Amino acid sequence: SRTIKLAVIPGDGIGPEVIAEAVKVLDAVTAHDNVTFEKTQFSLGAARFLETGDVLTAEDLAAIAAHDAILLGAVGGVPGDPRLKDANIERGLLLGLRFSLDHYVNLRPSILFPGVPSPLAAPGVIDFVVVREGTEGPYVGNGGAIRQGTPQEVANEVSVNTAFGVERVVRFAFGVAASRPRKQLTLVHKTNVLVFAGSLWQRTVNAVAAEFPEVSVDYLHVDAATIFMVAKPSRFDVVVTDNLFGDILTDLAAAISGGIGLAASGNINPEGRFPSMFEPVHGSAPDIAGKQLADPTAAILSVALLLDHLGLADAAARVSAAVTADIATRTNSHSLETAPRSTAAVGDAIVTLLTSKGL
Ligand code: NAD
Ligand code: IPM
Ligand code: MN
């Protein structure tokens, strides 16, 4: 039997609430498989920082890196909390993990499940995946300011794009496209203005395309991509883009396909040199934390991505099927974002579908 070491980081706010449900589903779906998840809980996040002053220590990182995969809820305190001003939990912890564990692929699928209301009048079929670069771009912290606080202040935040970094994520995206029925890859960038990085991304896509003759390739400027994502999202199959464009586009993608309560993601190190990390796209939602109002579906779908990544495709498909069945029972009169059922009731319903409906 196979043992998988799973690091669990529930985090702050609704993080622990949605992770409790995700773990329930993980345990239920693998109960009869020949696999055991050995879980280690890590208390990291704003609450931990306020207690100890630590965000992510070298010991934390080493301990987490010794696992096969990571499941994360959400981290971050109430925006604007002065006690967290110097901590920068998002950079220190979330980006700390993504960068240190070389999560160069940030995989963010968008699927409009049957029965889910979209804010679009005519959404059509929405079934695409954004492959967002995860370790470069303007996120690297290559910046600085001079004359801060004066009218002469200059603040730079330089986007870093390396041939190595762009090529590996582009090649991964081609692989994803080749594995899907439509085999269509769209590069999203802003090559008309960001000429140096844009040229590198475009040349890289052109070069790697030669290895994937079955994949058809096109290009959109990021501003036009937002038009299509609203006006005709069915045109997208696989999108490859940089860290910041990908961040913004995937919130839009979540909004058109049922909302932030359904959006799942994987931060992947494809070579498996480091554990990959799976998390809902949403944050710690301090406005609804502790009230059992959060929809755990995004966290549960992140478990499906985790199972898929670990080669447990059958279990992953069963989780997706149970989520699809559960969503179909919801009525359109309710917002999907604050569930009419408690967080635990949604998790329990999905577990029941898994265990008693033969899924
Ligand atoms: P947020 O995603 O936490 O919340 C935005 C809105 O969506 C809120 O109204 C919230 O109630 C709602 N919402 C989010 N998830 C939901 C769910 N599962 N079910 C129902 N409603 C849900 O974004 P924010 O308010 O900008 O950020 C709050 C904190 O989270 C900040 O500290 C931010 O930096 C952090 N954050 C963390 C992550 C992460 O850990 N990956 C991601 C984004 C934001
Ligand atoms: C996300 C979040 C993070 C990001 C923040 C919290 C650092 O918005 O996971 O999309 O920008 O990547
Ligand atoms: Mn984001």
Q: Is 237 annotated as a binding residue?
A: no
How many angstroms separate the CA atoms of 44 and 54, rounded? 9
Residues 250 and 136 in one domain: yes
pLDDT value at residue 1: 86
Residue 3 lies in a domain: yes
pLDDT value at residue 359: 67
Locate the ligand 2 atom nearest the alpha carbon of residue 250 and give its number.
10
Rounded mean pLDDT, 288-304: 96
Q: What is the pLDDT of residues 44-61, one digit of tens each?
A: 999 999 999 999 999 999
Residue 91 lies in a domain: yes
Residues 169 and 190 in one domain: yes
Residues 143 and 187 in one domain: yes
Residue 334 binned pLDDT confidence (cut-offs 50, 70, 90):
very low
Residues 309 and 274 in one domain: yes
Residue 109 lies in a domain: no
- 223 as an active site residue: the answer is yes
How many angstroms separate the CA atoms of 78 and 284, rounded? 8
Q: What is the pLDDT of residues 130-157, one digit of tens each?
A: 999 999 999 999 999 999 999 999 999 9
Q: Scan for tokens 């919130």, then name that residue.
A: 251
Give the ranges where the chain is alpha helix by DSSP (H).
Answer: 15-30, 46-52, 58-65, 89, 96-100, 163-179, 195-209, 222-231, 243-256, 297-309, 313-329, 343-356
The percent of residues in the chain predicted with pLDDT above 70, rounded, is 97
Residues 229 and 325 in one domain: no
Supply the residue whose CA is at minimum distance from atom 12 of ligand 2. Answer: 247
SS (H, E, C) 35-61: EEEEEEECCCCHHHHHHHCCCCCHHHH
Q: Is 286 annotated as a binding residue?
A: yes
pLDDT value at residue 88: 86
Residues 124 and 221 in one domain: yes
pLDDT value at residue 333: 41
Domain that holds residue 290: 1-103+264-359
Buried b (16+ CB within 10 A) or exposed e, 321-345: bbbbbbbeebeeeeebbebebbbee
pLDDT value at residue 183: 98
- 104 as an active site residue: the answer is no
Residue 288 lies in a domain: yes
Residue 306 binned pLDDT confidence (cut-offs 50, 70, 90):
very high
Buried b (16+ CB within 10 A) or exposed e, 252-261: bbbbbbbbbb
Does position 338 have pLDDT exceeding 60, yes or no? no
Q: Phi-psi category of 161—alpha, beta or left, where left has phi over 0 and alpha has psi -120 to 50?
A: beta
Global pTM reads 0.96
Residue 86 binned pLDDT confidence (cut-offs 50, 70, 90):
confident
How many angstroms separate the CA atoms of 71 and 128, rounded? 23
Residue 296: name the closest of 18, 76, 49, 110 by CA.
Answer: 18
- 139 as an active site residue: the answer is yes
**Cα 204 to ligand 1 centre (Å):** 34
The CATH number of whichever domain residue 174 belongs to comes to 3.40.718.10
Residues with CB under 6 A from ligand 1: 14, 18, 74-77, 79, 90, 94, 260-261, 279, 282-288, 294-295, 298, 337-338
**Is the shortest distance between the CB of 12 and ligand 2 below 6 Å?**
no
Does position 283 have pLDDT exceeding 90, yes or no? yes
What DSSP state is assigned to residue 137? Answer: B
Residues 204 and 322 in one domain: no
Q: Which residue has the higher pLDDT, 340 or 222?
A: 222
**For all residues of the chain together, what is the average pLDDT?**
94
Contact status, residue 8 vs residue 68, Cβ threshold 8 Å:
no
Of 257, 291, 313, the position where a domain reaches its end is 257
How many angstroms separate the CA atoms of 225 and 347, rounded? 35
Of 187, 222, 257, the position where a domain reaches its end is 257
**Cα 228 to ligand 3 centre (Å):** 20
Q: In what order do the strands lie in the sheet with 238-241?
A: 35-41, 2-11, 69-74, 276-280, 264-268, 105-111, 127-133, 238-241, 184-189, 216-221
Number of domains in the chain: 2
Q: Is 223 annotated as a binding residue?
A: yes
Sign of the torsion angle spanned by Cα atoms 159, 201, 241, 105: negative
Of 205, 234, 257, the position where a domain reaches its end is 257
Q: What is the pLDDT of residues 159-187, one digit of tens each?
A: 999 999 999 999 999 999 999 999 999 99
Residues 124 and 252 in one domain: yes
| 359 token code pair | 């899924």
